[in-house]
Chains A and B, each alone.
Chain A
Amino acid sequence: MCGGALLSSGLCRFSELTPGQFGLTKQLVFRLALPHITLLVVSILYAVFGGWMLTLIKYSQQTTHQAIMFDQTRQNFAKRLALIGNKEEFESIVDELVEKTYDFYTMEDGHRWQEAAFNANPLTNFTSNLFFAATTLTSIGYGIDAPESLIGRVFCLVYLFFGIPLYLITIADMAKFCTELMNRTYTEIIKYKYRVKRRYKRWKSGRIRRESMKVGQVIIAGGEDEVAEFLWTHLEHAQFVEVPFLLVIGILLLYIGLSSWIISWVENWNMMDGFYFVMMSVLTIGFGDLVPRNEIFAVPILFIILAGLVLTTTCIDVVGAYYIDRLHFFGRRLDDDPLSWLKEVQQRRIEAMKKEAMRKLFETVTALHHIRLTAFKQLTQNYDEHLRGKAPDPPRHLIASHATADSVMLRWSAPIYVDEGKRYWYTITYKPRTPQRRNNVVAVDFINKDRYLVTGLKSFTLYEFSVYVTTRYGQSVPIKVQEYTEPCTVPQSVRIDAISDETATISWRAPKMNNGPESYVIQFVQEPAPQFVYWCKYKVGSSTRFTLTDLHADTRYIICVTAEHNHGLAAMSKSMRFRTKKWWGDEDSTCLRIPGTSHRLSIASAISTLTALR
């Protein structure tokens, strides 16, 4: 099943065309064809210019026709025969005649040589000079009518130096055009053959159904990327169509045979000589032993030769390049994959797609970042508006106290300003601050008082408490406090009940969990505290209240209570710090003395500074 045909050998690289586009716009045709037409016209004008220049140069040479010279030579020969005396002199004269006969024959064709065909005007030799110029520019170079004077040869050198590259480019360009034309024609023939075959098959099977496959998607125009993309999409339906080499060579031989017949008929040669002449011309060897001499048909013969030259270049372009490339890499590259070219193009396309994807991804990330920033900015503005308009003020002075093994007392003050008439309440949330555990936030709502006893806590754990003011329109900013709950085996709620200048009364509660009957030990010391072994200890017994005596006045003390079990001391409770009161007699003098001392010191420092300055 032939879904599409593609010519792999003769792809033209017109990047302006899209795949499958057959109709060319007028502007496109003009743009594409203009360079080729210009090149062709310049080449033709260059050849005509060469013909005219050679005609002028040869006219200045005053060349005489060879027929008259030959006739004069023959007359001189006859006259000299009458004067000979012996046979040796006669032989030398005959040898001279033979040499001159050969020279004249090589300039004129023997069969068509006519003495009466003498032209008095050398300017009519333009045709032969044009023939000479064109065949020389294509490097055939028969050599007949080559200039012999100095000016002629110098002109030939300069003329060919610039003309040969021009003609090489022109012939190569026309050969590419012929290659493309041949490829398109062959593709159309293949398409028509497949269409007829399919129609015959459907008629024979007796079914008339719609064409499920479209025939004739031909990709000629377009770059390698478009061709590779088309092939990759329709790889199971595509078929490579290459013009067979035998067909190209057959066309070439047919053309050579036809032109041989025409030239032989015009020049009155036999067929073998005509074929020989055309072959030598088309291969640009150009011996010059056989040269057309008919002036009327010189220009048509010239065009026949040039067209044959273009066709030969086409044949080399189609057949020769393939075989030369194949033979050159024959022993080096073993596996010949026909789709290697396609895979290389596909690989390049994949890399290009990756680069494009990376570029688009970068652009997308940049755009998203921009969008996110904009949204964040708008969100911030909305939050500010919300806070300014509706959020109530937070409570103040949150204090956590009376911590026990499972409860903490929270106490706070009311917020500064709340709208009158609007009802509000307090919300408490708390959670442990232990890092290894999952912290469950517990919320207690609808609290109307300014204090709350939080119960159900774990012992010996750090908790964070937050208090909000809540109204119908939202919550305030929370205020927070952190507090440790006590271990469950120590005395609870150590408290200072009364303090004087030399006594202090402490009370506490029993621990939550005990291992047996306990007794209490009070330990205290002045601050700063020394090592624990030097603290003062009082064994209190089972009482939960005790009064310390013989303390120093106006001194800071630190005190703690320890529950003593059968097996020894347990953990201490929290330490309490207190300061005994001042002695009643020293209070007034102390207030009077301190400002004077400060004043005196500052004056002394000023005096020392002035001394240093001086």
Chain B
Amino acid sequence: MGRRHRRSKVTRVVNLVKKIIAFFFSHIGLCALVVGYALLGAVIFKAVEGPHEAEIQELVKSAREKAVDVVWNATFRVNRLDSKQWKKTVLDEVKRFKTVCMLSIRKGYDGKEYGKQAQWTFTGAFLYSLTVITTIGYGNTAAKTYIGKTLTMLYAIIGIPLMLLFLTNIGDVMAKIFRFLYAQSIRLKFRLILWHKKRKAAKIRRANSLVSRLTRGHRVKADSSVDSFGLGAGADVEDLLTARVEMEQLEVRETAAAQLESMTVPISLVVFTMLGYLGVGTTIFKVWEGWTFLESFYFCFISLTTIGFGDKFPSTSVSNTDEAQEKLVITSIYLLFGMALLAMCFNLAQEEVQNKTRWIADKFRSKEDDDD
């Protein structure tokens, strides 16, 4: 009794764990997992890199104050009439300050004003986490401490497969939706064509009935055999017209069935979708950041292909204001779904290219067979 009870409890626990894992690796669970992972990264990197940034800024500030005092004292104490000695003193102090600045930059000084602008805010850390797991890697914000670098590597090793899994699933779902919409558009187009041809057929049938009525009235008046031959000719013409219209409808249905069966989205449509998405992003960043059209397009393209130069970067997204956080959320959503859309487009284009290649190979093979 106790043994069976324990086994049942163990089985129940195992089933519960399986259900939890299945949920997390379904579509909604994957989205939640990616967002949660990015938020976790934001918290960690802010805690690790924030104090280091403040320390470096304080060091540069103190060095700057020291340099200012030394140069000022040299100007007032030493007689400025002896310009050679004064210039030597000033240049030596400037060189020493430059050395301190370079060492600070080496340690992570980013040139921002002390205390006024901080790079490692929560939003900045969140964007950093997102660029790590999506392998974009702008580089404007980068970890400087050894602990930060180690955590970045571990974070990337765990996060990049997770992001690949997310992109694969979302890409599959989007590809299915895209194919479904494309099939619906094909059906709608062919339904319109069929409706047009049916109306044409009805018009022809009405004309045929009118001609029949006229011919019948004419035959009632005259009884000669020549009219019967004419009646036969008219009937043949009517049958030919009706058969032609029916044949056209049948051809349209067969064409629609063939296209729906093949179900390969053309490359032009895929490229148009991709460029449309880039156009939307271009418009958004142009309005926000004040860039030109080419610069916005450049930024969107470099980001969505996960290259991430970092020479163009949405700088207003990393401050702590509410407007900046809203922009950050929109930028994140744009990047995530843009990458999934790009993966979907690449998959569909790959399928189309494979079909074209196979078709060409079959054509060459059939040509060789004909030659043999």
Residues on A facing B (Cβ under 8 Å):
74, 77-78, 81-82, 87, 90-91, 94-95, 97-99, 101-103, 105-106, 110-111, 136, 139-143, 146, 148, 150, 153-154, 156-157, 160, 164-165, 168, 272, 276, 279-280, 283-289, 316, 320, 323-324, 327-328, 330-332
Instruction: Output the least CB separation between A78 and chain B (Å).
Output: 6
Tell whether B280 is near chain A: CB-to-CB under 8 Å. Answer: no
In the bound complex, do residue B71 and residue A90 qualify as a contact, i.e. CB atoms below 8 Å apart? yes
B139 touches A102 (CB 8 A): no
Given the complex, which residues of A lie within 8 Å of B80, measured CB to CB? 82
Contacts of B139 in A (CB 8 A): 142-143, 286-289
Check B214 for interface membership: any CB of A closer than 8 A: no
Residues of chain A contacted by B142 (CB below 8 angstroms): 287-289
Q: Is the CB of A81 within 8 A of B71?
A: yes
Q: What residues of A have a CB within 8 angstroms of the CB of B349 in the complex?
A: 165
Given the known interface contacts A102-B111, A139-B305, A287-B139, the answer about A90 and B21 at a Cβ–Cβ threshold of 8 Å is no
Q: Which residues of chain B come closer than 8 Å to A77, judged between CB atoms?
A: 94
- Indicate if B138 sits at the interface (CB-CB under 8 A): yes
Contact B168 A324 (CB under 8 A): yes
Chain B residues near A142 (CB, 8 Å)?
139, 309
Tell me the nearest residue of chain A to B91, going by C-beta. Answer: A78
Can you list 9 A-B pairs, Cβ within 8 angstroms, ordered by A?
Answer: A81-B71, A90-B71, A143-B310, A146-B311, A154-B294, A272-B149, A280-B156, A283-B160, A320-B164
Which residue of chain A has the shortest Cβ distance to B106 in the bound complex?
A110
Q: Which B71-87 residues sit within 8 Å CB-CB of chain A? A: 71-72, 75, 80, 83, 87
B308 pairs with A141, CB closer than 8 A: yes
Q: How distant is B346 from chain A, measured CB to nearest CB, in Å?
A: 7
Tell me the minimal C-beta distance from B311 to chain A in angstroms.
Answer: 5
Q: Count residues on chain B whose CB falls below 8 Å from chain A CBs.
A: 63
A80 to chain B, nearest CB (A): 11
A47 to chain B, nearest CB (A): 14
Residues facing A in B205-249 (CB within 8 A) are none
Instruction: Report the Cα distance A153→B301, complex, angstroms.
Output: 11
A305→B295 CA distance, assembly (Å): 29
Q: Are A285 and B137 in contact (CB under 8 A)?
A: yes
Does B127 interact with chain A (Cβ within 8 Å)?
Answer: no
B25 at the interface (CB under 8 A from A): yes
Residues B111 and A157 in contact, CB atoms below 8 Å apart: no
Question: Would B294 and A150 count as touching, CB distance under 8 A?
Answer: yes
Q: Are B111 and A99 closer than 8 Å at their CB atoms?
A: yes
Find chain B residues with CB under 8 A from A141 CB: 136-137, 302, 306-309
User: Chain B residue with minimal CB distance to A157?
Assistant: B301
Alpha-carbon distance A87/B73, docked complex (angstroms): 11
**B64:A331 contact, CB within 8 angstroms:** no
Q: How far is the CA of A222 from the CA of B239 in the complex (A)?
A: 59
Chain B interface residues toward A at CB < 8 A:
18-19, 21-23, 25, 60, 64, 67-68, 71-72, 75, 80, 83, 87, 90-91, 94, 97-98, 101-102, 105-106, 109-111, 131-132, 135-139, 142, 146, 149, 152-153, 156-157, 160-161, 164-165, 168-169, 294-295, 297-298, 301-302, 305-311, 346, 349
Residue in A139, A154, A323, A324 whose CB lies within 8 Å of B306: A139
B63 to chain A, nearest CB (A): 9
In the assembled complex, the Cα of A272 lies from the Cα of B148 at a distance in Å of: 12
**Residue of chain A at shortest CB distance from B309:** A143
Contacts of A97 in B (CB 8 A): 94, 97-98
Q: Is the CB of B22 within 8 A of A331?
A: yes
Chain B residues closer than 8 Å to A94, beta-carbon distance:
64, 67-68, 97
A468 to B71, CA, bound (A): 152
CB distance from B85 to the nearest CB of A (A): 13
A157 to B309, CA, bound (A): 13
Q: Which residues of A contact B135 (CB under 8 A)?
A: 139, 283-286
Q: Which residues of B are found within 8 Å of A286, using beta-carbon distances? A: 135, 137, 139, 307-308
A384–B245 Cα gap in the complex (Å)? 62
Q: A143-B139, A148-B311, A285-B135 are in contact. List 18 more A-B contacts (CB 8 A).
A: A78-B90, A81-B71, A94-B67, A94-B97, A99-B111, A103-B111, A105-B102, A141-B308, A143-B138, A157-B298, A284-B135, A284-B137, A285-B131, A286-B139, A286-B307, A289-B142, A323-B161, A331-B18
**In whole angstroms, what is the CA distance A287 to B136 when docked?**
8
Evaluate whether A105 and B306 lie within 8 angstroms (CB atoms) in the complex, with A78-B90, A285-B137, A287-B137 already known. Answer: no
- Residues of A close to B152: CB separation below 8 A: 276, 280
Chain A: which residue is nearest B165 at the CB level?
A: A324
A567–B290 CA distance with the chains assembled, in angstroms = 138
Cα distance, A81 to B301, chains bound together (Å)? 45
Asked whether B106 lies within 8 Å of A287 as measured between CB atoms, the reply is no
Give bound CA distance, A608 to B106, whole Å.
141
Partner of A101, one of B21, B102, B164: B102
* Closest Cβ–Cβ distance, residue A115 to chain B (whole Å): 12
Residue among A81, A287, A320 with max Cβ neighbours from chain B (10 Å): A287
Which of A98, A148, A288, A331 meets B111, CB within 8 Å? A98
List A contacts of B67 (CB < 8 A). 94
Q: Which residues on A sit within 8 Å (CB–CB) of B110?
A: 102
Q: Are B138's CB and A287's CB within 8 A?
A: yes
Q: Which residues of A contact B138 (CB under 8 A)?
A: 143, 287
Minimal beta-carbon separation of A282 from chain B (angstroms)? 10
A332–B22 contact, CB under 8 A?
yes
Contact call B310/A330, Cβ cutoff below 8 A: no
Task: Give CA–CA (A139, B64) in the complex, Å.
Answer: 40
Complex Cα gap A87–B72 (Å): 8
Q: Select one of A74, A90, A102, A330 contacting B72, CB under 8 A.
A: A90
Is A327 touching B94 in the complex (CB atoms < 8 A)?
no
- Report how far A103 CA is from B306 CA in the complex, Å: 25
Distance, CA A287 to CA B165, complexed state (A): 23
Which residue of chain A has the shortest Cβ distance to B17 in the bound complex? A331
Asked if B310 and A87 sit within 8 Å, CB to CB, the answer is no
Given contacts A288-B139, A328-B25, contact A101 B153 (CB under 8 A): no
Which of B105, B131, B161, B307 is close to A320, meaning CB atoms less than 8 Å apart? Answer: B161
With both chains docked as a complex, state the minimum distance between the C-beta of B153 and any C-beta of chain A, in angstroms. 5
**Quick one: which of A74, A141, A164 has the most chain B CB within 10 A?**
A141
Please indicate the chain B residues that have their CB under 8 angstroms from the CB of A283 in the complex: 135, 156-157, 160
Q: How many whole Å from A290's CB to the nearest CB in chain B?
A: 9
A289-B140 Cα distance, complex, nearest whole Å: 8
Q: In whole angstroms, how far apart are the Cα atoms of A323 and B162 in the complex?
A: 11
Q: Which 6 A-B pairs have the closest CB atoms?
A: A331-B22, A141-B307, A285-B137, A143-B309, A102-B111, A288-B139
| Residues from chain A with Cβ under 8 Å of B101 in the complex | 98, 101-102, 105
B residues near A106, Cβ cutoff 8 Å: 105
Q: Is the pair A110, B102 in contact by a Cβ cutoff of 8 Å?
A: yes
Considering residues B64, B94, B132, B310, which has the most beta carbons from chain A within 10 angstroms of its beta carbon? B310
Establish whether residues B346 and A102, one from each chain, have CB atoms under 8 Å apart when the complex forms. no
Beta-carbon contact of A78 and B309 below 8 Å: no
A153 — nearest CB in chain B belongs to which residue?
Answer: B298
Contact A288 B21 (CB under 8 A): no
Contact partner of A102 (CB less than 8 A), chosen from B90, B105, B161, is: B105
